[in-house]
Amino acid sequence: SQQGEEDPQALSIQEGENATMNCSYKTSINNLQWYRQNSGRGLVHLILIRSNEREKHSGRLRVTLDTSKKSSSLLITASRAADTASYFCATDEDYSNYQLIWGAGTKLIIKP
């Protein structure tokens, strides 16, 4: 099955540090979305960035998009214990098949 790529697979940092995770995709997109999943729960939408945008902010979140490299990064600044979760990116590169392409996820652990 198609799947986007995310790295790292897992990331463990101290509370207060910044966390960066990356997502790469294969073909052209209209938009890219980031979602968070707390353990065993449903995914929660964080941010959507369109292909004509290079950077977007939402609170402590900063998303960048580089369409020439077909990649995006999610930066969480001043991390908190509550940020411990898995983070997934999703693109509409398979728009014609009416499905999002999801990354495998980055598991983020914030140590107190």
| Binding positions for other proteins, rule: CB under 8 A | 1, 3, 30-31, 33, 35, 40-45, 48, 88, 90, 92, 94-95, 97-100, 102-105
CB under 8 A, 24+ apart: contacts of 43-46? 43/88, 46/74, 46/87
Give me the least distance between CB of 78 and other proteins, in Å please. 25
Of 15 and 37, the one with the shorter C-beta distance to other proteins is 37
Of 5 and 15, the one with the shorter C-beta distance to other proteins is 5
Backbone angles phi, psi at 18, to 5 degrees: -90, 150
